[in-house]
Structure 1
């Protein structure tokens, strides 16, 4: 485990409920496209790596797939076990999956590669447990950040919040461009072939309080920044937040936040 991995484990510890009530709905949007890119078939064997609260695994289960799910965070494992009692759900971390070579028809990872200390090793491990001819399908958030996520930078800037300078980052030799081409190249270097990719764009609809609650409870990089602020600064951030979400408010008071994700898949 790298310093980056250890940092990720600490930041997600016990956060299943906070994630479920805030950003899980945002991350759920690509689930169908992720499974389609993985060419899942009824009766097939699917591994959902970094399952979170089980969104992709649950959708795969409704398609008649034999689902196995893993996550590095115990609270996520328990949440998925409750959500899909018939699935096999295990605690496991990339890049060391507790499975033999080639046992799955499809392996998927929804917004997981963003959170590992060695992306190439992670995708290579997913390929290892996929049968020859099976598919590996992944999503990531792009960089520069799409409008929904960039909104937090705008709010922090308006509130005069300084960013932490001590957060772990991937060393250059382990990082990759968070672009469509960069993600496809990562899959290629991991040994996958017949690689396809696309940019998914949608409007995420949520309430102002739900979108606030994720960072307010420490979720994501905005949550890391929020946790280091004084109560007075949090009050100032909330005031700027209420101002800057106004252009995204719909008549019913909900927010309509444009966002994008990158999807790529390849054959093992």
Structure 2
């Protein structure tokens, strides 16, 4: 386990409910395209890796797929079990998942590669558990971030907050460009064929207080930045955030936040 993996466990431990109330709705936007890329339909034996609050699992069940799910965080496992009764949901951590070779027709991972310290090894593991001819589809956040995703980080920096020392980054030898070309090349390096990779862009609409609630409660790396100096720092970042929100305010009083992800898929 890399230092990045250790810090990710610290970030996400015990935050399943906060995630479900905040950023889960944002991450659900890519689910239809992700399942399409994995050719998900009736009878597809599908694994949802990093299932979070269960949005991918629920959508795949709705398409008639035979779904199983796995997540590294026990709270996320419990959340998906509640969202999708009857689906087998297990605890497991990349790059070693508790399934035999060639077990699935399709494996999907929605924004999971952003949270592993060895992305290539993670993809090789997804390939191992997918049958020959099966499909793998993944999403990541594109970097640099789109303006909507960068908003809270900008506010924290304007308040003078700095990244906590313990919050690790991916080791350079394991990292890759967070772009369509970079993700596509990673899938190819993992041994996948017929690889396609493209950006997905959308405007996420959210109430300003709801959007702030996730990071304020410590969700994601941005949440750790916001909380790096205690309540005083959170309050300072919130003041900057309230001003910056005016850049994104829609006529209906909701924030209109541009986001860009990358969707890539390939065949085993």
- TM score, norm. by length of structure 2: 0.97
Q: CA–CA distance in 2 between the matches of 1:129 and 1:178?
A: 24
Report the Cα offset of residue 6 of structure 1.
1.5
Equivalence for 1:202: 202
Q: CA–CA distance in 1 between the matches of 2:152 and 2:111?
A: 19
Report the Cα offset of residue 165 of structure 1.
4.3
The number of equivalent residue pairs is 268
* Cα deviation 1:212-234 (Å, max 9, x = unaligned): 01110111121111222132222
Q: Secondary structure at the match of 2:68?
A: strand
- TM score, norm. by length of structure 1: 0.97
Q: CA–CA distance in 1 between the matches of 2:135 and 2:153?
A: 36
Q: Does 1:239 align with 2:236?
A: no
Report the Cα offset of residue 102 of structure 1.
0.6
Report the Cα offset of residue 83 of structure 1.
0.6
Report the Cα offset of residue 4 of structure 1.
1.4
Q: Secondary structure at the match of 2:51?
A: coil
Q: Secondary structure at the match of 1:177?
A: coil
Equivalence for 2:26: 26
Deviates more, 1:150-159 or 1:43-52: 150-159
Equivalence for 2:125: 125
* Cα deviation 1:155-201 (Å, max 9, x = unaligned): 12322223334421222111111111000010001010000111000
Please report the RMSD computed on the Cα atoms of aligned residues, expressed in angstroms.
1.1
Q: Secondary structure at the match of 2:196?
A: strand
Equivalence for 1:147: 147
Q: CA–CA distance in 1 between the matches of 2:213 and 2:5?
A: 24
Deviating 4+ runs (over 4 angstroms): none
Equivalence for 2:102: 102
Residue pairs, 1:1-268, within 5 angstroms: 1-268=1-268
Deviates more, 1:250-259 or 1:73-82: 250-259
* Cα deviation 1:65-124 (Å, max 9, x = unaligned): 000000000000000001101211000110111111111010000000010011000000
Deviates more, 1:233-242 or 1:204-213: 233-242
Q: CA–CA distance in 2 between the matches of 1:15 and 1:86?
A: 24
Cα contact 2:23–2:214 (8 A) shared by 1: yes
Q: Secondary structure at the match of 2:173?
A: coil
Q: CA–CA distance in 2 between the matches of 1:71 and 1:25?
A: 18
Cα contact 2:162–2:228 (8 A) shared by 1: no
